[in-house]
Amino acid sequence: MADPIARVALVGYGPALVKAIEVLRALPTVALTVVADANSQSEGARLARSLKIPFVANPIEVLRTEADLILEVSGDQRQYERLLSVKPARVEVMSKRGTQLFLDLLERRAAPDTGCALGVVASDRQQLYDHLRGGLAGIPGVEVIADRRHASPPPSRLTGPRRVGERRRQPDADEALRARGFVITRAATKDRPA
């Protein structure tokens, strides 16, 4: 069975937008539905038009498309928050930081010997899990999993000696998982612990 197609909208400007278009357009599991850039004469706008990808100047217009994943590539926090505040429930929005991690993992196709990466998605973010799993499918050294840990340890683990599962707790990763819905970490291998 073929992987599902992720319908992706890009919002941003400059070299980050151009890079995102170039990386994503090469993936058979990704359909770029629209590119938004306030400057209709930018390199990203010209590239989108040359590839016959719909282009809009107003980033909010990406919500009128079939996109189910919006990648904000510029780092404009206000723009990111605006998109989050008006998006339909079926749409995921990823910040520049998350988008950069996602694109870096996708680029592993060109350099698969750079180690192993593990994407962990919060258990309540099934749609994001589906997007990341589909978009990163087939990249050597990359795996996407759903977080299976409990939000808090069961009462039997609150006292007594430390248990094996508690070694896996990483406060920074836990915070990123709560804030963004996913975290990228190094995967443990036989030669190198995580």
Domains of the chain, residue spans: 6-103, 114-186
Q: What is the structure's pLDDT at 129? A: 81
Q: What is the structure's pLDDT at 140? A: 66
Q: What is the structure's pLDDT at 56? A: 96
Q: What is the structure's pLDDT at 161? A: 53
Block mean pLDDT (10 aa), the chain, length 194: 74 91 86 94 94 95 93 91 92 88 70 61 80 72 75 51 52 71 64 49
DSSP for the chain, written as a single string = -PPPPEEEEEE--HHHHHHHHHHHHT-TTEEEEEEE-S-TTSHHHHHHHHTT--EESSGGGGGGSS-SEEEE-S--HHHHHHHHHH--TT-EEE-HHHHHHHHHHHGGGT-TTS--EEEEE-TT-HHHHHHHHHHTTT-TTEEEEE--S-SS--GGGSSSSPPGGGGG--HHHHHHHHHHSEEEEEPP-SSS--
| Architecture of domain 6-103 in this structure | 3-Layer(aba) Sandwich (3.40)
Note whether 163 and 156 are within 8 A (CB): no
Q: What is the structure's pLDDT at 38? A: 93
Q: What is the structure's pLDDT at 104? A: 78
- For the whole model, what pTM was predicted? 0.63
| Structure tokens that stand for 65 in this block | 């498309």
Q: What is the structure's pLDDT at 18? A: 93
Q: How far apart are CA 42 and CA 55, in angstroms?
A: 11
Q: What is the structure's pLDDT at 192? A: 46
